[in-house]
A and B are shown apart, each in its own frame.
Chain A
Amino acid sequence: MADTKVKDALDHVRASAQELHGAISDAAAKRGGAVKADLEVIPQKAKAITDSIKGSIGAQNEATKKHLTEAATYLGAVQNHAAEALKSTGKGFQTSVQKALADARASVQEISEAVAAKRLTKPSTTRK
């Protein structure tokens, strides 16, 4: 069935961040630890989401902006931790992966808070 819902930029940012968290948590849960190949795309993905946030933040209300700014900060940390993981081995690698996962979770949390703040300012309507 075709998706007829109209999604705005913030919905797409949230979906991308959810996907990012899913990718890191899947990698972290692998037996024997995350595989580096799984993490190679993470810094680019995190940067792309950050860029999307920066592109859409101007049109948002203040509460939404605040959460999106926080989300961008966490996504910057995800980039750094994922990059560190790719250069590390053993325990250092696992630690960096766990830090990337925690920051990815925090970024999705901030984005969903931003979505909630935005929805509060709108009348209760469907987006179909």
Chain B
Amino acid sequence: MRNYIAVVFNGTDKAYEGLHALWQLDDEAQITVHGTTVVHRNSWGGFQVDTKDTHPALATAVGVGVGALVGALAGPAGIAVGAARGAAIGAASGGAVGVGADLIRGETRDQAKAETSFVLDDGQSAVIADVSEDSTSAIDSRMRNLGGSVYRRSKGDLRDDAWFDDSYLYPYDYYLYPYEYIPSSSPV
């Protein structure tokens, strides 16, 4: 099975433990990990994605893509929010051409905040991953032991979501790192 997962933890350190555990499962050949990142929601609701690239345009694409993915992993409620907010960000992005990146970034933050609210509470972090797994038990068991809650949807289901813009699948390739990436500086 090819699945996207979000594993939610109370705190950044636990999330990085979860990230490491996921790659360990890959190393043990129990699953195959195609890409991972860690996202954070601070005490004020601000949403941040671990990424090496600080270019505003890419950061915007990353925020939109990962926010949409996390929302979709939450199931119908998250999808509904994603559908509503997706239209808003589309309009804002078009209107902001020539105005500057701040509006887009502001809208992205709002969108990501709304989309991720069904999965991530303030102060929580989540590991996002694209995995191949024969059964769900390896990840579920390992993450439960670390105190993580697993949200999971198949890649096929995501593609079938009518609102889910296929273009979001391409940013996945850029913000899901194909190895264990932890920023050197504190992300939150």
Report which A residues bind B (CB closer than 8 A).
Answer: 5, 17-18, 21-22, 25-26, 28-29, 102, 105-106, 108-109, 112-113, 115-116, 119-120, 122, 124-128
Contact = CB atoms under 8 A, between A and B. Distances in A.
Nearest to A29: B52
B28 interface: yes
Interface in B145-188: 173-174, 177-179, 181
B10 interface: no
B34 A112 contact: yes
Interface of B: 27-30, 32-35, 52-54, 132, 134, 173-174, 177-179, 181
Contacts of A116: 32, 34, 132
Contact of B29 (A22, A28, A102, A127): A127
A98 to B, nearest CB: 9
A25 B52 contact: yes
Nearest to A107: B178
19 contacts: A5-B27, A21-B179, A22-B179, A25-B177, A28-B52, A28-B53, A29-B53, A109-B173, A109-B178, A115-B32, A116-B32, A119-B32, A119-B132, A124-B30, A124-B134, A126-B29, A126-B30, A127-B28, A127-B29
A109 to B, nearest CB: 6
A122 B32 CA distance: 13
A18 B179 contact: yes
A5 B178 CA distance: 20
Contacts of B181: 22
